[in-house]
Amino acid sequence: MSASIEPETADPLGETSSVTPIRAFLGLGSNVGDRLDHLRRAVGGLDDATTAVVAVSSVYETEPVGGVEQDAFHNIVVEVRTELSADALLRRCWELEQRARRVRLVRWGPRTLDVDVLLYGDHQIDTPDLTVPHPRMTERNFVMVPLLELDPSLQDHPLLAAYDPDLAIGEVRAIGALPAADGPAG
């Protein structure tokens, strides 16, 4: 697979992107309640007529970032093919967070679920609600390690060239695959 993610499409901010699905990557994290169950339900909530889950990274346990004392996170990256526009995909992420009863009290505080659009095709987007590529992803091992697990060629992507695992924030520890819905939760 090349470092390019996707050919350009007409309107990344409209309701749907085009007839051709866009390859996108989402970062998910949880550190409140049943972390694995929150992640599992979110992945299940992505898969529908407009969006197909292509791959899910291993689950990584990471220490929180941002200075707020809280429990460790479980993080994954999910690759999807979607007909949704980038804006509509972001709204889907927010819906998943709401279903998990996320409460936003403190920036970088504890959360049942956090879902970020990391990459949306090869598009660069900068709106008040959405910046793609995610503006801090190359500074965070808990994003880049699972992303590169899914597609190591993204290391060569020009927009991700700033990533240096020795300088990025957060130690990550792989804890295995995301269990299926009937598997054990943690």
Catalytic positions, written as ranges: 102, 111, 114, 116
Cα 94 off chain centre by:
12
- Among 24, 39, 42, CA closest to 175: 39
Q: What is the chain's length?
A: 186
Q: Is 90 helix (H, G, I), strand (E, B) or coil?
A: helix
Tell me the β-bridge partners of 52.
Answer: 81
Q: Is 57 helix (H, G, I), strand (E, B) or coil?
A: coil
Residue 147: exposure state from Cβ atoms within 10 A (0-12, 13-18, ≥19): buried
